Amino acid sequence: MANLNKVMLIGNLTRDPELRYLQSGTAVCDFGLAVNRNYTKADGEKVEETTFVDITAFGRQAEVVSEFLQKGRPVFIEGRLRLDQWTAQDGQKRSKLRVVMLNFQFLDSRRGGGAQGGRPQQPRQQQQQPSASDDFDTGDDSIPF
């Protein structure tokens, strides 16, 4: 049986990222994301529904998120769902779905927001666009196109 665990979200941070380090030295960053859905009911009433999602990032991406994102900033998150389960102090079993971030992209330009996945991009005027010949090279210069 095939399996797929992929989540793509665009939303705004609900709180500033919280960065910590594991004993192994791995950076871990937790933050919240609010994702809005607008729709119209059958009676014509417009509704805005907000879903709040907890996100966890690891490694260098966790450090970049902590440095450049803060409450209110829009971001695109790509990740996977993870189910956390624990027993609360009152003895009740609890569970919560969260997204483990695999990739992200800043959606505004404040504080260097032109980066993608934590890696700075070249300025647009210096980026080269691929040409058709980059994908297909016949080695024959006599072809007229």
Judge whether residue 123 has pLDDT over 70: no
Q: What is the pLDDT of residues 65-84, one digit of tens each?
A: 999 999 999 999 999 999 99
Q: What is the pLDDT of residues 23-59, one digit of tens each?
A: 999 999 999 999 999 999 999 999 999 999 999 999 9
DSSP 8-state secondary structure symbol assigned to residue 109: -
Give the pair of three-digit tokens for residue 90.
């009152």
Judge whether residue 144 has pLDDT over 90: no
- Read off the amino acid at residue 46: K
Output the domain CATH number for residue 3: 2.40.50.140
pTM, to two decimals: 0.70
**Calpha distance 23→26 (Å, rounded):** 7
Residues 6+ apart with CB under 8 A from 69: 13, 16, 17, 31, 75, 106
Q: What percent of the chain has pLDDT over 90?
A: 73
In a domain, 42, yes or no: yes
Domain extent at residue 5: 1-97
Helix, strand, coil percentages for the chain (3-state, nearest 5): 10, 45, 40
Structural domain count, the chain: 1
